[in-house]
Amino acid sequence: MARSDWNPWRRLLALPNESRTKTLVIAFLVASVCALMVSGATVLLRPIQTANRAAEEQARIETLVRGIPGMADLLEQSGGTLSTVVVNLETGRAAEDVTAETLPVTLADAANWSTLEPGEDIAGLGQRPDFAQIFLLREGEDISLVLLPMTGQGYGGRIDAIMALRGDMNTIAGVAVTNHSETPGLGGRIEEPAWQADFPGTELRGPNGDMRFSVARGEASSPYEVDGITGATRTGRGFTNMVRFWLGPEGYGPLIRAIQRGEF
């Protein structure tokens, strides 16, 4: 009498190829091995994928910022690593549920805008978004440069700009006007590199912390002023109010304090 083979693997292989049991078991085993291989590959490749996504994001950010007139040279001089973050303007902290990709959809919802009282709306905005995308340049763990988008009302209409602040959050590193409707040859000169070149080194606040930045009516006479533009007093006043608003308590004030405390 032949001895029975109790090895289940041998018994399976001994079954004819037409056996439904053999087909199902082999198919299950093959699928399991493939699933394990895919899972293993995912685990092994995850750091590479993460690094690739980070590199793509870094390239996207740098392309965006370097496309702003006047900012490319500033970034070259500053060095470091550029990153972006969406901040909650009320708290001055990184937004928990809003990213650069979802920001446009978020701001399409009127619930994510705050109405400004007349006394605090010196930039003439009417309302202010609750979230804003900013750019940070780090040297190691230290923030060396912060790029802050801002908008306000000039003489002819809306002015959009990006202001770069040094790591002390009180010294202007540069400014770029990205959009305006000011009169050509007068207020429209705010887009000229020669005027914007007067901003680097200008200080925002005095020793007691009070906001003192302004566009002068003529030539600057203090470290808190930049030269005014002849015949464009109202444009200069609008630019002053825009900067004061966005760097004040209703704008980036909470963020600036958080950075100064080393919390960002």
CA dist., res. 196 & res. 119, Å (int):
29
Q: 149 by DSSP, 3-state: which?
A: strand
Flag whether the pTM goes above 0.75. Answer: no
Q: 219 by DSSP, 3-state: which?
A: coil
Which two three-digit tokens encode residue 259? 């950075």
Lowest mean pLDDT among 20-24, 93-97, 198-202: 20-24
Beta bridge partner(s), residue 86: 133
Reported as a pLDDT band with limits 50, 70 and 90, residue 214 is very high
74 versus 206: which is more confidently predicted? 206
All structural domains of the chain with their residue ranges: 8-57, 70-260
Q: Which residue do the tokens 């493939």 mark?
A: 34
CA angle 130, 179, 135 (to 5 degrees): 50
What number is the average pLDDT over the span 118-122?
91
Residue 49 has what pLDDT? 56
CA angle 143, 60, 145 (to 5 degrees): 15
pLDDT averaged over every residue in the chain: 83
CB atoms within 10 A of CB 51: 10
Asked whether the predicted pLDDT for residue 3 surpasses 70, the reply is: no
Residue 1 has what pLDDT? 46
Residue 66 has what pLDDT? 63
Tens of pLDDT, residues 40-95: 766 665 556 544 554 554 555 565 566 555 666 766 666 667 788 999 999 999 99
